[in-house]
Amino acid sequence: MEHGGQVRLRTIAREWGRIGLVGFGGPPAHILLLRRLCVERRGWLGPAEFEDGIATTNLLPGPASTQLAIFTAWRLRGTAGALVGGLCFIAPGLVLILALSALFLAGRPPLWVLGAAAGAGAAVPAVAVQAAAALVPGSLGRASAGAADGTGRVRGGRARWYGYALAGAGAALLTGPWLVLVVVATGLAEVVVRSRGRRAPRPGLPDVPDRDATGAVGAAGAAGDGSDADDAGGPPPGGGRRGTLPLLAAVPAVGGLGGLGALAWVAFKVGALSYGGGFVIIPLMRDDAVHRYHWMTDGQFLNAVALGQVTPGPVVHTVSAVGYAAAGTLGGLLAAAVAFGPSFLFVILGARHFGRLRADPRVQDFLTGAGPAVIGAIAGSALPLAASLAHGWQWGVLAAALAGLTVARRGAVGALLVAGALGVVAALAGLPVA
């Protein structure tokens, strides 16, 4: 600690900015860098507290690794630390993706840029398949486990998991912007099923009333001593979430206005209504960006997804590329502000309650149902993405990327860079890229 036991804001700005600059590879890389900084090098947080932060931010909608960066900075300097740390973590990737968007989405980009975009875009469906496959074991295991409060196994968990996944895949293919309603519906359905299972008396045992939310034990596990973040010395946030509800309820109406209002609604869905990791933004945004508002072509959307993967910082930066296509630099900045804004609110207004959130079985049940729908949506989005490939050579790049990601288990960033290089070669060889 510095300056009378407090970490200086300029230290937070420097360290979180560095992570935002070198954080290639998505959430796993961000978590590793934050742990090395906060736990191993500086000792600002204990290992258990850091793990609790990971568990809780994974329960929240929106970009989990960004929320973890905001939360760790909040633990050091409260609201000011959260704002400084979060903004410095986000800013490097945001500046880079806006610059790349200006290059890749220009009216007449150079031939090699068109080739790189076509090559990297061809690999995006394979990255979507890999992202969905990586989520399956944990989600399926969670669905097969017993009820969150330990009262016994809820039968049919695996069958419901497949049903939810199919619903998510169908929604990604058919419902477009209404996918989020399907995800919420599957989560609520699982809450109802498991709540009934907990209420039902087991043979030979007396009927026991449900525990309340504060008495239950969450599947993700609370801190070893059961303490909340504020019990460990964290600063109390300045208020609750109730005041934000009217604002959140008004956002869908704003989306009907078109223009910047529509862009704000699309970005809001990404930041406040998305579960299951950064790649769920593909089915959430694609229909709006390509078919409803016509901000981008299918090929340009593939490019935007690829840019979000190969730039440092959160994958959700893809929304900034969509915003740039819709309304230039102002649109990119607006999309980023709306997409990341809920993450700041969730942490600043709710961090003191994170312990109870982890312990609430209803939250665990909701994610048990919503998770497979998200996985299905991510996997389902690969089909229209692949169908948008316009040139025969791109299918060869897609096949190579799929083999590299699923068989050789290569990383997504490397696969996209190689695919982009192949696209440059194809362009220089005279193959069609536009």
pLDDT at residue 253 above 70? Answer: no
Would you state the structure tokens that stand for residue 158, as one six-digit string?
């695996």
Question: Whole-angstrom Cα distance, residue 284 to residue 302?
Answer: 14
Would you state the structure tokens that stand for residue 406, as one six-digit string?
């699923």
Which of 137, 124, 141 minimizes the C-alpha distance to 405? Answer: 124
Contacts of 405 (CB under 8 A, 6+ apart): 126, 127, 129, 130, 412, 415
How many beta carbons lie within 10 A of that of residue 372, not counting itself?
31
pLDDT at residue 306 above 70? Answer: yes
The neighbouring-strand residues paired with 153 are 146
Which amino acid, one-letter code, is at 241? Answer: R
| DSSP-H helix ranges across 256-360 | 259-272, 281-286, 298-310, 318-350, 354-359
Q: Which helix (H) or strand (E) holds 180?
A: helix 179-199
Share of the chain above pLDDT 70, in %: 82
Question: Whole-angstrom Cα distance, residue 432 to residue 423?
Answer: 10
pLDDT of residue 9: 96
pLDDT at residue 339 above 60? Answer: yes
SS3 percent helix, strand, coil of the chain, rounded to 5, is: 75, 0, 25
pLDDT of residue 5: 66
φ, ψ of residue 153 to 5 degrees: the values are: -75, 135
Q: Which of 170-174, 221-225, 284-288 has the lowest mean pLDDT?
A: 221-225
Higher pLDDT residue, 216 or 58? Answer: 58
Would you state the structure tokens that stand for residue 65, as one six-digit string?
């690794």
Length of the chain: 434
pLDDT at residue 244 above 90? Answer: no
Q: Which of 31-45, 65-79, 134-148, 398-412 has the lowest mean pLDDT?
A: 134-148
The tens digit of pLDDT for each residue in 348-400 reads 999 988 888 878 888 888 888 888 988 898 889 889 889 889 899 999 999 99
Would you state the structure tokens that stand for residue 88, as one six-digit string?
């410095």
Higher pLDDT residue, 66 or 205? Answer: 66
pLDDT at residue 222 above 60? Answer: no
Would you state the structure tokens that stand for residue 303, as one six-digit string?
């490019």
φ, ψ of residue 208 to 5 degrees: the values are: -110, 130
pLDDT at residue 317 above 60? Answer: yes
What is the chain's alpha carbon radius of gyration, rounded to the nearest angstrom?
22
Contacts of 66 (CB under 8 A, 6+ apart): 30, 86, 89, 90, 314, 316, 340, 343
pLDDT at residue 10 above 90? Answer: yes
pLDDT of residue 128: 87
Would you state the structure tokens that stand for residue 339, as one six-digit string?
């997409």
Burial of 151 from C-beta contacts in 10 A (0-12 / 13-18 / 19+): buried
The tens digit of pLDDT for each residue in 223-232 reads 333 334 344 4
Query: What average pLDDT does range 176-204 have in this prediction?
Result: 79
Which of 300, 287, 249, 313 minimizes the C-alpha distance to 377? Answer: 287
Query: What average pLDDT does range 108-130 have in this prediction?
Result: 88
The tens digit of pLDDT for each residue in 136-146 reads 888 888 887 75
How many beta carbons lie within 10 A of that of residue 21, not counting itself?
17
Q: In Å, how far are 59, 345, 370, 434 from 406, measured between CA atoms?
A: 27, 37, 24, 28
Burial of 353 from C-beta contacts in 10 A (0-12 / 13-18 / 19+): middle
Q: What angle do CA 30, 35, 40 make, to 5 degrees?
A: 145
3-state SS string for 227-244: CCCHHHCCCCCCCCCHHH
